[in-house]
Amino acid sequence: MRNTIYASLFLAFSAALSHAASPTLEAPPGWKDVLSEGKVRNAVIVLKGPEMASFIVRRAPKAPLDNPAGTRGYLQDVLGGLREGSGKDYRSSGRVETRVFRNGLTAQLIKGQLAGEDRVLIALFGAGGTPHLAVLMSAAPEAMVNSLLGSIQIGRIEGAVQSAGVARSLDGQLELALGGGRRSRSLLDSETAKGFVLVIQGAGSEVLFQKLAEADATKPGEQAAIVRELTATSAGVAADKIAPVKAAATAAGPVAVYSWAASGPAEKLSVGYLPWGYWGYQLFGRGPAADELMVGALAALKAGPTAVPGLLASTPKIPIEKQGPSRKLVLGVFAALAALAAAGLVTWSLKRKNR
């Protein structure tokens, strides 16, 4: 039963985040969306334009976003691949340009020339914490780049964003004040269908609250282990690579537990569980500050209009195993001191007998 819950939660989390983080682009006039033809692996945008022009955006999880030298080498390798694949002698000065577009997207890009004329533009950018590669091939790529890269939308801002006032969960149980870099967005239909009731954003990260039915609830004593396992599974790492499970208090009273793990360059995944009356909420976070955002959102969380104070007061506490390395060290020191004390007592007793 518990493994079934793990699997369903992980799939829901992955589906919500992948949908939320995917770049989208409405084909401009004269361009045709051919993504459904499935000819480009890991592609999220594939357009065909006038006069043999093309624009492709695909996920590139191994691309080095935060390493200038690595980025230059990566973009040059992509250009080399285009040169070999097309049989055309594309060349580049090797200069990498950082450009910020009107939609807020920041990209590292190089240009490829054919017979001295710009014919290819290759760009690397992050979307939802995942590197993406864009390749624009055209007789005049500079004339088209703003209407393409500059018009891309990142899925996680598809919903209406609320940056002030109070954010309230769909079930009315949870609410928190926005501002100070913390905001909320409306849930996507695919998210509400999976039981998500609230989304909080901040510091380039996002935390989703998923309500669990009473039938899906597990014993309080198992929740720390569930959080630990979900964190490792979500990040795709071994359990010993995640942060220790910790408690996170709420302004409403119930205390959550959470953990996090690195899932890539400057990217974290966080998982938490918030007990609430006789049910609870599973929390999933993603982004460079996924752990801090989760703790901050929980700290600001208050009871919503449908919450019953008596039920909240009866919310169980989740025990956390505190047998960590530091505790073992302390216990070891105490054991050593106890052994020394015992040895001293024996020595003192023998000396007293020999008097």
Q: How confident is the model at residue 340 (pLDDT cuts 50, 70, 90)?
A: very low
| Residue-level pLDDT at 129 | 63
Please indicate, yes or no, whether residues 305 and 244 belong to a single structural domain of this protein.
yes
Q: Does residue 15 lie in a domain region?
A: no
Least confident among 21-25, 178-182, 325-329: 325-329
Percentage of the chain exceeding pLDDT 70 = 80
Residue 345 covered by a domain: no
DSSP state of 140: S
At 353 the pLDDT is: 40
As for how many domains the chain has, the answer is: 2
Statement: residue 1 has pLDDT above 50: no
226: domain CATH number is 2.60.120.1690
CATH code of the domain in which 67 resides: 3.40.1000
In a domain, 351, yes or no: no
Question: Distance (Å, rounded) from C-alpha 97 to C-alpha 91?
Answer: 16
Tell me the pLDDT of the chain averaged across its residues.
82
pLDDT in tens, 26-46: 888 889 999 888 888 888 899
Instruction: Name which residue leads in pLDDT, 251 or 234.
Output: 251
Joined together, the tokens standing for residue 236 give 């795709």
Instruction: Please tell me whether residues 135 and 161 are part of one structural domain.
Output: no
**279-299: per-residue pLDDT in tens?**
899 999 998 999 999 999 999
Q: What would the mean pLDDT of 172-201 be, rounded to a whole number?
A: 88
57 and 144 share one domain: yes
pLDDT tier at 322, thresholds 50, 70, 90: low
Q: What is the pLDDT of residues 187-215, one digit of tens each?
A: 877 788 888 999 999 988 899 999 987 65
217 vs 64, higher pLDDT: 64
Kindly state the tokens that stand for 352. Answer: 């007293």
- Would the pLDDT of 156 be above 50? no
Question: Quick one: pLDDT at residue 214?
Answer: 64
3-class secondary-structure state, position 227? helix
Q: Would the pLDDT of 164 be above 60?
A: yes
Contact assessment for residue 288 and residue 129, using Cβ atoms and an 8 Å cutoff = yes
**Are residues 80 and 175 located together in one domain of the fold?**
no
Q: Are residues 160 and 266 in the same domain?
A: yes
Q: Residue 102: inside a domain, yes or no?
A: yes
Lowest-confidence pick of 30-34, 215-219, 230-234, 344-348: 344-348
**Residue 130 contacts residue 21 (beta carbons within 8 Å):** yes
The answer to the question of residue 88 being in a domain is: yes
- 114 and 128, same structural domain? yes
| Residues 166, 136 share a domain | no
Query: Taking the CA of residue 249 as centre, how many other CA atoms within 13 Å lie in the half-sphere pointing to its CB?
Result: 2
Q: What SS3 class is residue 213?
A: coil
Give the tokens for residue 311.
């039920």
Decide if pLDDT at 354 tops 60.
no
For the whole prediction, is pTM greater than 0.85?
no
Shared-domain flag, residues 240 and 254: yes
Host domain of residue 138: 26-151
Structural domain includes residue 13: no
The four Cα atoms 102, 155, 233, 265 give a dihedral, to 10 degrees, of: -10
pLDDT at 89 over 80: yes
Residue 81 vs residue 154, higher pLDDT:
81
**What integer pLDDT is reported at residue 137 of this predicted model?**
94
235 with 286, same domain?
Answer: yes
| Closest among 193, 184, 159 to 15, alpha carbons compared | 193
The mean per-residue pLDDT over the stretch 80-97 comes to 89
Confirm whether 334 is domain-assigned: no
**Mean pLDDT of all residues in 161-186:** 89
The answer on pLDDT for 110 being more than 90 is: yes
Residues 143 and 222 in one domain: no
pLDDT at position 9, please?
Answer: 56
End-to-end CA distance of the chain: 69
In terms of DSSP bridges, do strands 183-185 and 54-59 run parallel, antiparallel, or are they unpaired?
unpaired
Using 50, 70 and 90 to split pLDDT, how confident is the model at 112? Answer: very high
In a domain, residue 31? The reply is yes
Same domain as 297, residue 167:
yes
Phi, psi of 96, deg, nearest 5: -105, 125
Residue 309: alpha-carbon gap to chain centroid: 33
Domain boundary among 118, 135, 151: 151
For residues 81 and 208, state if they share a domain: no
Amino acid at 16: A
